[in-house]
Amino acid sequence: MEPVNVENRNKYALITGATSGIGFELAKCFAKDSYNLILVARNEDRLNEVTNELKKNFSVEVTPIAKNLFAPGSAEEIYEETRKMGITVDVLVNDAGQGEWGPFIDTSLERDLDIIHLNIIGLLSLTKLFLRDMVRRNEGKILQVGSEAGTTPMPLLSVYAATKAFVLSFSAALAEELRDTNITITALLPGATDTDFFHKAGQEDTVTYRESELASPEVVAKDGYEALMKGERKIISGNKTKLHVWMNDLLGSKMSASNARKLNEPSHNTAGEKLPQHEASLNEREYISQQSGERDGDLITGRKYKDRPDPDSNEPVLTKENLPDATNESSGKVGSGQRQDSN
């Protein structure tokens, strides 16, 4: 058992996306520092496993709330549950987030809208609800988990990157609005990290996942936690990620987008990463695969997104040579014509 920090033993941190990856490691950081935990995730079985593990290893109270943040009204339900329990949330951690890999014209509209709801609407709603209480007390901290992807346009991961650009802009604006209070907003920018994100997004066969050195969720969480406790407005985790963000600023959006696309294209390296090495993330991937029967993707009860292309097929990712017209005049369907070069 970790030693008890008496200053925090009556404080509560609410963490979304807490069953794997960075969210799970952030939960451990708070527990080590004697914060009581409220863990939010969709899968009740996995959530209970993580709850019991943290209770066993740390002398803190751990309260699970099984909610699907893709669903409208879920943020309000989480807030009301904490009120009914008489819990004051001292720290809010918005970690839950997903992406979807592929050309924008090929991804499911339903999936894109779900990602926007999770990454933007859910985060904004929880921030609004709990921040109002923090302002009334003039006390509190919020950690918004953004991404390096939010600093550049990202072809083949376009919706996800755009949602993370929102998170960074939104967090910076709030931090300035609250500058004369005792409330701090911290944005955490990880680079590509060893979590189940890539498999949920169908991105596990790309250059980034197969050929890049992935950051450790433990290190990313530690960076974010320390910055949050210091009241810093933004923390970029890792020297490689800092270099990428600096280069994005230097090169501008067109060249940065071109570089990002290369990293998001399929890799021919068959010896690269196949599964998360991070234990909690691997456990989550195995659970989803067992339930869905699929090697990748997400598990969402009651719906099935458009099937993803077979990664072993010969169909290429869109390039300058095979880009379709935006609209075929005869059919009116997006992407149904042949590309015509123009000067």
- Find the helix packing angle between 217-230 and 21-32, rounded to 10°: 50
Domains of the chain: 12-292 (3.40.50.720)
Q: Name the residues annotated as catalytic.
A: 160
Among residues 166, 154, 164, 22, the alpha carbon closest in space to that of 101 is found at: 154
pLDDT score for 222? 98
Average pLDDT over residues 140-147: 98
> Which positions ≥6 away from 75 have C-beta within 8 Å?
69, 121, 122, 125, 126, 129
What the block records as the tokens of 95 is 């970690």
Average pLDDT over residues 108-118: 96
Amino acid identity of 69? L
pLDDT score for 286? 86
Q: Residue 154 pLDDT > 70, yes or no? A: yes
Among residues 304, 209, 188, the alpha carbon closest in space to that of 265 is found at: 209
Q: Residue 257 pLDDT > 80, yes or no? A: yes
Q: Residue 84 pLDDT > 60, yes or no? A: yes
Mean pLDDT of the chain: 87
Average pLDDT over residues 126-131: 98
Q: Residue 161 pLDDT > 50, yes or no? A: yes
**Helix or strand (DSSP H, E) at 236:** strand 234-236
Question: pLDDT tens for residues 265-289?
Answer: 999 887 776 889 899 998 888 888 8
